[in-house]
């Protein structure tokens, strides 16, 4: 009897682990990348094709509301962005008006608008486990809705910690356009999270961009700040 109990105790964690669904993995990955439902993030983008770094203050509420304030360099200041669901507006100081853009449009270098404004994958993508080994899951994510930053994503996730390690971003036809490495895990908002996302253009490997998350602060943000009126 005691050997049966011991067997159950020893195998239970493995059984639980085996039972984890792709959606649950994705939610745990999102928890690694996002500290809470609502938070502020200071981001710096270093690009091989730009002479100056760009800096942003990103306010995120869930996966559907984001306000991006551009704080530098001077030529980009004022080019603030608002995301509501899959809709995005950018205020263009030259035009003195806000213009609607897509999440997949280029932000800086290899980084797309959605790379800093839409930080969660669960809810947006259908996930399946493509491959599994002792240390990692390779997940394949297929968009549930139109207008997302990437149509398909292949992401490698560390088992147990659910930390994303690397990703391939694919077009609808399955062509890899960019790759990303999730690097420099440091404590941000009380938990180890990737502080650098290194993006490489698959067509031109010398074109790279680093999305550096400098600071994360958990903060209750009012719904009323996510308004086009605040872009100007």
- Contacts with other proteins by CB under 8 A lie at 75, 77, 84-87, 90, 92, 94-102, 105-106, 147, 219-227, 229-230, 232
d(CA 107, CA 232): 18
Rounded to a whole number of angstroms, the minimum distance from the CB of residue 150 to other proteins is 16
Rounded to a whole number of angstroms, the minimum distance from the CB of residue 1 to other proteins is 57
Nearest to 195 by CA among 163, 159, 154: 163
Rounded to a whole number of angstroms, the minimum distance from the CB of residue 94 to other proteins is 6
Q: Do 154 and 166 meet the contact criterion of CB atoms below 8 Å apart?
A: no
Nearer residue to other proteins within complex by CB, 47 or 163: 47
d(CA 136, CA 15): 17
Rounded to a whole number of angstroms, the minimum distance from the CB of residue 75 to other proteins is 6
Rounded to a whole number of angstroms, the minimum distance from the CB of residue 216 to other proteins is 15
Nearer residue to other proteins within complex by CB, 123 or 147: 147
* Chain centre to alpha carbon of residue 182: 10
Nearer residue to other proteins within complex by CB, 83 or 167: 83
d(CA 151, CA 206): 24
3-state SS, residue 93? coil
d(CA 8, CA 118): 41
Nearer residue to other proteins within complex by CB, 123 or 136: 123
Q: Do 12 and 19 meet the contact criterion of CB atoms below 8 Å apart?
A: no
Nearer residue to other proteins within complex by CB, 98 or 209: 98
């Amino acid at each position: 009897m005691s050997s049966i109990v011991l067997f159950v105790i020893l195998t239970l964690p493995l059984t639980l682990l085996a039972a984890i669904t792709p959606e649950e993995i994705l939610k745990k990955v999102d928890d690694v990348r996002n500290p809470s439902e609502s938070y502020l993030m200071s981001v710096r983008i270093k690009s091989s094709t730009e002479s100056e770094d760009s800096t942003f203050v990103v306010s995120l509420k869930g996966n559907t509301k984001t306000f991006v304030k551009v704080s530098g360099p001077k030529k980009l200041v004022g080019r603030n962005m608002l995301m509501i669901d899959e809709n995005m507006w950018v205020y263009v100081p030259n035009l003195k008006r806000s213009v609607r853009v897509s999440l997949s449009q280029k932000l800086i270098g290899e980084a797309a608008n959605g790379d800093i404004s839409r930080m969660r994958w669960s809810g947006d993508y259908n996930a399946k486990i493509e491959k599994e080994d002792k240390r990692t899951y390779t997940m394949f994510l297929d968009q549930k809705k139109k207008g997302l930053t990437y149509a398909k994503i292949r992401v490698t996730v560390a088992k147990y910690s659910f930390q994303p390690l690397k990703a391939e971003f694919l077009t609808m036809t399955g062509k890899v356009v960019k790759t990303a490495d999730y690097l420099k895990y440091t404590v941000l908002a009380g938990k180890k999270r990737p502080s650098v996302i290194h993006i490489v253009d698959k067509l031109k490997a010398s074109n790279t961009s680093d999305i550096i998350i400098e600071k994360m602060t958990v903060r209750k943000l009012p719904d009323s700040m996510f308004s086009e009126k605040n872009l100007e």
